[in-house]
Amino acid sequence: MDPSSSQAAASVAEPDRAWWKEAVAYEIYPRSFFDSTGNGVGDLPGIREKVEYLDDLGVDLVWLTPVYDSPLADFGYDIRDYRSILPEYGTMGDWEGLRDDLHDRDIRLIMDLVVNHTSDEHEWFEKSRREVDPYTDYYVWREGDRASLGNGVDPDDPAAMPNNWESLFGGPAWTYDEVRGEYYLHLFDGKQPDLNWRNPAVRGDVYDLMRWWLDRDVDGFRMDVINFLSKADGLPDGHEGAVVTGSEHFINGPHIHEYLGEMHEEVLSEYDVVTVGEMPGIAVEDAREYVGRDGPLDMVFHFEHMRLDAGEGGDWDFRDWDLAELKETFTRWQRGLAEDGWNALYLNNHDQPRMVSRFGDEDYRVRSATMLATFLHTLRGTPFVYQGEEIGMTNVPFESVGKFIDVETLRYVERMLERDDVENFADIGEAVRYGSRDNARTPMQWSPADNAGFTTGEPWLAVNPNYPEVNVAEARADPDSLWHYYRRVIDLRHDNDVLVYGDYDLLLPDDPELYAYLRTLGEERALVVLNFTDGEPAFELPDGIEYDAADLLLANYEVEGPTRPDRFDLRPYEARVYALE
Ligand code: ISL
């Protein structure tokens, strides 16, 4: 064999194949997907009615966010019973029906595994706060400063708390429990106490519930804040000024690899399933340890691109993001997991502003969304489409503070309104309107009918007023719509191994308007050129990229004339994908 071609030949013959690398995933937030009963809340039979829709779109994998029994303090991320379905959403029979309907169409189903915390209404917590054996140490309990408490100090005074950690939803991460007379740790809401992963009995119970679902034929898990499980020994104070005080003591904590290794050994290795770890605060070097060849998980959701518009002032301080930084971030992750590990790609989800309002341009809603769709599906990694993204749903013009419902948003607004420099909602309205998780959670817009065809009743969260224009029915009827473009780009990925497994090489790193890259798998090459602006920049193929013929695989505008991609002008938010031969 010609030695110069041996490396290329090796990479063509043997990409490290897996069904989930070739899949396109779709995230469903059940509460807002489709209401089959008219009570204003989406449900499992509603999702069943839309399985054909998902099949038509072409997705291969569904991630269902929590549908378990829950008091809904955090809309299901506060689980009361891991083995039952919230009655509002249906029955276990409905869930089984959904699973079967998906499987009949070769669509896999992954469930949300939320085991950093439970609801405070979970039986384990009810028993733990009463110190009922063996649940006494199922959560992270601490006495706090007994002396000062004894002196009539308010237990809500942060000075009396076991340490200075903050909750990701704002405010202290400790709540004093009157029943037990101690504080418990909650990295999220007070109704979401953190489990004590040091306790082997807790870990055993979690592995049991995982097996329970895996034995019911689920195809894997998306794992909620899974890199938060291990808290530093002694729970030391955190550095103030970090985004969340204390986070250096629970993000990738000291025993995390021990726990996830054990979970893999005891549970995951027994099943052919896929796992996606949601991991706020991780760098690509950390990711390799979690999802590399010897790591316990398959893919990772990181947050670096979700912080590109973060200002200095914490979670609700936004600034404009910058294309150079976006390219740098994606490129670092593409390269960092090139040899080992796999990216889970996303531009929005149920916690984030809508993709088109954030990384696109509402004035060019469809063009910019098709450009972003092209981006998402031509990177190396598994794309996750969030419900409504495929019709270009946007952020919501919330009129007043009373329109918000999400706990994280409400806590922030409460804290801000207590401050002297904030007089009323108008002072913080812009940031809240941009950043609130409610943007992502308004009902799916199915049609121009009342309430976007989501419900015949009163929806639990008002629909975005743009539904007469932005909805599935209209999009499906128009062959030039964003929805049909999603189908095409999903097909393109399915038909081209180079887009799944190919190497990624950034072109024109310093171009302030264009994001261009090559994907290469042996002899196959794809060139992707994306205009991230409303201007009309010119693209020039860098020297040294030789080819005989080029074939335009996909574009979000009509492209006329000779299609050689050596030099061309782009229109606002234009995207092109060429095969180079
Ligand atoms: O939502 C966020 C930013 O607006 C994140 O900080 C989010 O809290 C973080 O990504 C963790 O999210 C996950 O766990 C939370 C839950 O509220 C989110 O919905 C979930 O995706 C606690 O379970």
Q: What's the confidence (pLDDT) of residue 325? A: 98
**Minimum-distance ligand 1 atom for the alpha carbon of 188:** 22
Task: Mention every residue, 6+ apart, whose C-beta is less than 8 A from residue 226.
Answer: 113, 115, 116, 260, 277, 278, 279, 297
pLDDT of 474: 98
SS3 of residue 16 by DSSP? coil
Q: What's the rounded Cα separation, in Å, for the pair 140 and 138?
A: 7
Question: What residue ranges in 234-365 does DSSP mark as E strands?
Answer: 274-278, 299-301, 344-345
Distance, CA 188 to ligand 1 centroid (Å)? Answer: 8
Confidence at residue 144, expressed as pLDDT on a 0 to 100 scale? 79
Closest C-alpha to 578, from 533, 536, 529: 529
- CA torsion through residues 170, 176, 177, 183, sign: positive
> Which amino acid is it at 393?
M
Catalytic residues: 224, 278
- Measured from the Cα of 74, ligand 1's closest atom is 17
Q: What is the reported pLDDT for 147?
A: 60
Q: Is 74 in the pocket of ligand 1 (CB under 6 A)?
A: yes
pLDDT tens-digit readout, 64-76: 999 999 999 999 9
Using a pLDDT cut of 70, give the percent of the chain over it: 97
Q: Which two tokens stand for residue 9?
A: 């030949």
Which residues does 336 contact at the CB level (< 8 Å), separation at least 6?
284, 285, 287, 288
Nearest in space to 350 (alpha carbons), one of 23, 63, 54, 61? 63
pLDDT for 562 equals 67
Report pLDDT for 209: 98
Atom of ligand 1 nearest to the CA of 114: 23
Residues in the chain: 581
Across all residues in the chain, what is the average pLDDT?
95
Evaluate: CB of 437 within 6 angstroms of ligand 1. yes
pLDDT single digits (tens) 176-191: 999 999 999 999 999 9
For residue 224 and ligand 1, the question of a CB distance below 6 A is answered with yes
386 lines ligand 1 (CB under 6 A): no
Span 507-530, pLDDT tens digits: 999 999 999 999 999 999 999 999
Q: Report the distance separating Cα 153 and Cα 245, nearest Å.
A: 23
Summarised one tens digit per residue, pLDDT across range 348-385 is 999 999 999 999 999 999 999 999 999 999 999 999 99
Q: Whose CA is nearest to atom 10 of ligand 1?
A: 280
For ligand 1, atom 16, which residue shows the shortest CA distance? 77
pLDDT at 150 over 90: no
CA dist., res. 487 & res. 460, Å (int): 30
- pLDDT band (50, 70, 90) for residue 106: very high
Which position has the token pair 């004590």? Answer: 196
Residue 280 Cα: closest atom of ligand 1: 10
How sure is the predictor about 441, in pLDDT bands with cuts at 50, 70 and 90? very high
Q: Are 66 and 79 in contact (CB under 8 A)?
A: yes
Ligand 1 center–CA 352 separation, angstroms? 9
The CB of 280 under 6 Å from ligand 1? The reply is yes
Neighbour-count burial for 489-519, b at 16+ CB within 10 Å, e otherwise: bbebbbebbbbbbbbbeebbeebebbbbbbb
What whole-number distance in Å separates Cα of residue 175 and Cα of residue 341? 38
CA of residue 174 to ligand 1 center, whole Å: 18
Distance 351 CA to ligand 1 centre (A): 6
263-277, 283-297, 424-438: range with lowest mean pLDDT: 424-438
Question: 188 CB under 6 A from ligand 1?
Answer: yes
Give the whole-angstrom CA distance, residue 450 versus residue 146: 57
User: How far is the C-alpha of 274 from the C-alpha of 195, rounded, in Å?
Assistant: 24
pLDDT over 60 at 305, yes or no: yes
Q: How far apart are CA 578 and CA 581, in angstroms?
A: 10
State mean pLDDT over 193-214: 98
pLDDT digits (tens, 9 = 90+) for 126-144: 999 999 999 999 999 999 7
Return the amino acid letter for 222. Answer: R
Q: Whose CA is nearest to atom 23 of ligand 1?
A: 77
* pLDDT at residue 207 in the model: 98
Does 5 have pLDDT greater than 60?
no
pLDDT at 323 over 80: yes
Q: What is the dihedral of CA 514, 355, 334, 325, to 10 degrees?
A: 50
What mean pLDDT is predicted for residues 469-484? Answer: 98
Ligand 1 atom at shortest distance from the alpha carbon of 77: 23
Candidate from 48-57, 142-151, 199-208, 519-528 with smallest mean pLDDT = 142-151
d(CA 244, CA 412): 14
Average confidence (pLDDT) over 383-400? 96
Residues 85-101 have pLDDT tens digits of 999 999 999 999 999 99
Instruction: Check if 225 has its Cβ closer than 6 Å to any atom of ligand 1.
Output: yes
Q: Which helix (H) or strand (E) holds 383?
A: strand 382-386
Residue 314: its pLDDT value, please? 77
Distance CA 255, CA 274 (A): 23
What are the counts of helices (DSSP H) followed by strands (DSSP E) for the chain? Answer: 18, 20
Predicted confidence at residue 220, as pLDDT, reads: 98
**Taken in order 372, 374, 376, 378, is the CA torsion positive or negative?**
negative
Angle, vertex CA 297, rays to CA 291 and CA 301, nearest 5: 70
Q: Is the CB of 168 under 6 A from ligand 1?
A: yes
Average pLDDT estimate for 273-283:
98
- The residue whose CA has the least distance to atom 2 of ligand 1 is 351
Distance CA 483, CA 473 (A): 10
Confidence of residue 302 (pLDDT cuts 50, 70, 90): very high
Say whether pLDDT at 12 is over 80. no
| 93: amino acid identity, one letter | G
Q: How far apart are CA 477 and CA 498, in angstroms?
A: 31
Q: Is 351 in the pocket of ligand 1 (CB under 6 A)?
A: yes
For residue 561, pLDDT beyond 80: no
Closest ligand 1 atom, residue 437 Cα = 4
At 3 the pLDDT is 39
Looking from the CA of 399 toward its CB, the CA atoms found within 13 Å total 4
- For the record, the structure tokens of 299 come out as 């893919």
Which SS3 state, helix, strand or coil, does residue 465 take? Answer: coil
Backbone angles phi, psi at 321, to 5 degrees: -85, 170
Answer whether 384's CB lies under 8 Å from 344's CB.
Answer: yes
pLDDT score recorded for residue 261: 98
CA 69 to ligand 1 center in whole angstroms: 18
